[in-house]
Amino acid sequence: MTVLEAFGNIAPGGAKAARGRTETQSANLGTETEITMKDTVTRHDWTLEEIETLFALPFQDLLFRAQCAHREHQAANTVQMSTLLSVKTGACPEDCAYCPQSIRYDTGIERESLMAINDVAERARAARDAGATRFCMGAAWRSPKKKDIEVMVAMIREVRTLGMESCATLGMLTREQAKELREAGLDYYNHNIDTSPEFYDKIISTREFQDRLDTLEAVREAGMNVCCGGIVGMGETLRDRARMLQVLANLPQQPESVPINQLVAVPGTPLAGQAPLDPFDFVRTIAVARILMPKSAVRLSAGREQMSDELQALAFFAGANSIFYGEKLLTTGNPDVEHDRRLLERLGMRTASGAPGALLA
């Protein structure tokens, strides 16, 4: 099936007639916007220049290419739903400039100790009943201690007994810790690279970019799926966004989930006064991520509360096919459950089952 046939009968005369018109239009656009098979295969050799060329495409050309790649590899009009719960909030020793949970900033976030296992299980059950198929647990640690891992192992097992996929984001992991979590049944581990290697020290000074990559390697070695993306709107350049996506796409194995976060400028953090990102730049980032990582789930993550329904619809068309679902995304707002349901219904989109490969075409 060609990328055009994936759209079905899109015009009188069917896919064949549409293909003829589109090939003529594509030829008129020149080689830089020509649809090639490179856009529909997984590559690990993307150059920065290639990625910047994608970002520079006319907006509609970029979205068309992204949607073609999306339909070649992903189920059309389908969204995977996850719920994220902060199981330990605040007092993080790191100095991530975007994060309200850092102990270094006065953001009004109250410290909360690690939640009880039964309370987490109850929240996971409620998330499942509301339609989530994956339950993610986040803890504000630089890296967990042995006693923390023991509690997390029990939480993971509770989530798995509910028939849900499990995910955790707990900071940096050793290989031994990653192995323990996998043996407990953890399906996904989230550890974002946040931004480009070149811009990284403008955002974080308490760890190195390589520390992020080392944790990702430990997670892969343990046999877990990787959830890894970044944040846009922190004052980075377009080249930084391209470079961040290059690092992700050129990993030995691309992440199964790629969350693209839009900065939530929380008062009290160093980025509180950061100007909002142009919405079209956000959608371009989604589209380029989809082209570079066609088999990955691309997730709309932090910042969705500030997005209009129209912007979210554009992001879905650009290739986003996963969202965090529920009232809170760690310590910042998230669109409520009923609003999400209404939006997906208005767009004619369905939710994916929790079965492995449910998003794939």
- Pairing label, strands 328-329, 332-333: antiparallel
Of the residues 92, 228, 290, 304, only one is catalytic, namely 92
DSSP conformation class of 90: S
68 as an active site residue: the answer is no
Nearest to 313 by CA among 290, 283, 358: 283
Determine which one of 68, 123, 167, 212 is catalytic. 167
The catalytically annotated residue of 227, 228, 290, 304 is 227
Q: Which of 99, 128, 134, 284 is catalytic?
A: 99
Q: Does the active-site annotation cover 228?
A: no
CA-closest candidate to residue 136, choices 360, 304, 302, 262: 302
The answer to whether 227 is a known catalytic residue is yes
Query: Is 96 annotated in the active site?
Result: yes
The DSSP 8-state label assigned to residue 181 in this structure reads: H
Q: Which of 190, 266, 195 is nearest to 232 (CA)?
A: 195
Radius of gyration of the chain (CA): 20
Identified catalytic residue from 96, 243, 284, 304 = 96
- Count CB-CB contacts under 10 A for residue 107: 16
- Candidates 344, 354, 340, 338; CA nearest to 304 is 340
Q: Please say if 92 is a catalytic residue.
A: yes
Cα 359 to Cα 225: distance, rounded to the nearest angstrom: 15
Q: Residue 300: which of 242, 343, 236, 243 has the closest Cα?
A: 343
Query: Please, are residues 140 and 92 in contact by the beta-carbon 8 Å criterion?
Result: yes
What lies within 8 Å, CB to CB, of 266 at 6+ separation is 98, 100, 107, 272, 332
Structure tokens at 215: 């944790």
- DSSP secondary structure, 190-247, as one string: E---BS-TTTGGGT--SS-HHHHHHHHHHHHHHT-EEE--EEE-SS--HHHHHHHHHH
Q: Which positions ≥6 away from 103 have C-beta within 8 Å? A: 90, 91, 92, 93
> Looking at 68, 136, 182, 243, which residue is catalytic?
136
Q: Which residues pair with 262 in a beta bridge?
A: 232
The catalytic site residues sit at 92, 96, 99, 136, 167, 227, 299
